Structure formats: C-alpha cells, structure tokens
A and B are shown apart, each in its own frame.
Chain A
Amino acid sequence: GAGVSQSPSNKVTEKGKDVELRCDPISGHTALYWYRQSLGQGLEFLIYFQGNSAPDKSGLPSDRFSAERTGGSVSTLTIQRTQQEDSAVYLCASSLSGHPETQYFGPGTRLLVL
C-alpha cells in the first residue's frame, strides 16, 4: 500500500514569508508525528496527533510554528514569518494507535529559508 507522503519535497522561501508543509499518513494510522532534522543532526520532535485528542505541541520551538490535522488524516505544518534557522528537513511519520515504536516516515520536506 501507499506509504507516508509529504509535499512539497523541496521548498525555498524568503525570510519572513509563511510556508505550509503537508503530510498524508498511511490510511488507518491514527497517530501522526512531525519532526525537524537539521543538517547532520538528530530528530527533533515537534508535535504529535492521536485521533481526535488534543495534539501534544510540547516540541514546537516557537509560536511561529503551528500544525493541524483535518478529519484525522492529512496534516499541515505551518511556519509563519520564516527565519533562516528554520532551514531543515521536516519529517512526518505515522503509526497505528498505541504503536509508536513502529513509525513510518515520509520522505520529508527540505526547507531552505534565504
């Protein structure tokens, strides 16, 4: 079946502009995670959605970052007033409820803020 997909695959934007990154999880996966990976670095947790529950936003680095998940499926990560330090690969992952050990990652969106 189809895996996790993300779009766009690459995004170049100017400092101060807003960007939207999209994630389509695997069908039936109620858990969805967003991570940020700076060049050569580890996986920085951003936000977690589980079904219709309130999301865990504890990893969002600033109030410029927000995310939503409509209908329990597609998720959008929005970064407002982008800064150069926001440049990174943004990875989305999904899993079955109660099985975070088996997360399926998307290919990521490579964001470059000039």
Chain B
Amino acid sequence: GENVEQHPSTLSVQEGDSAVIKCTYSDSASNYFPWYKQELGKRPQLIIDIRSNVGEKKDQRIAVTLNKTAKHFSLHITETQPEDSAVYFCASPNNAGNMLTFGGGTRLMVKP
C-alpha cells in the first residue's frame, strides 16, 4: 500500500519567516495530494491540495509544490503568523484511490 513520510515532525519559526514541510510517497500512480491543518483541540481541515498535472499551486501565503519524478511534495507558508501554528498533515491516495494515507504530521510553532 501507499506509504507517506513527512518531515520535520516539529518546526519552530519566527513570525514573518517562511516554513516548509516535506512529504514523500511511494505509489507512483498517486495523482492528488491534499494538506490538512489541525489547530490545537480542533478537527483537521483541508487547506489546499495539488493535482499531478501541475507542479505548483498557490493560495495567498500558502503554496504546494510537487515533484512526481522524485515522488515528493511540499507545503510552503510565507510570512508566517501566530495563527499558522498548528499540526499539518500531508496525504496521498491509496492504490484504489478511495482512501487517504496520511503523513505523521508536522507541529508548526510560529513565535511572535
């Protein structure tokens, strides 16, 4: 089955700096890669995803990049703010494309 590795497990940045979280996946047939954000004590919420037919997607301060050859994708947050502090999960579909395999999560702390 699909295997998703996520790094780093924790990331601390100063407010205003950029943060980058990286994930690798094993199934070369995977064709979409969502990112979820989970604030402390709250439920995970989808924040952005990228399809395999594009290499980059941006939404304001958030961007995702995809390298299908290397089978890795990344989340980039620019001009970080304290409200960006949360746990971020990457994910990739399983072989059947009906479920997601989640990475282990990255706890991002933005220090004011």
Contact = CB atoms under 8 A, between A and B. Distances in A.
Asked if A and B are interacting partners, one says yes
Contacts of B99: 33, 45, 48, 56, 100
Interface of B: 32, 34, 42-46, 49, 89, 91, 93, 97-105, 107
B8 to A, nearest CB: 14
B93 A42 contact: no
A91 B102 CA distance: 14
Summarize B's interface: helix, strand, loop or mixed.
Answer: strand
A108 B103 contact: no
Interface in A5-41: 31, 33, 40-41
Contacts of B34: 101-102
Interface in A69-114: 91, 98, 100-103, 105-108
A100 B97 CA distance: 8
B100 A103 contact: yes
A91 B44 contact: yes
A102 B46 contact: yes
**Residue from A50, A100, A106, A108 with most neighbouring chain B CB atoms (10 Å):** A100
A103 B46 contact: yes
B103 A105 contact: no
For the complex of A and B, 10 pairs with smallest distance between CB atoms: A105-B43, A42-B104, A101-B34, A43-B102, A42-B105, A105-B44, A101-B32, A100-B100, A48-B99, A101-B49
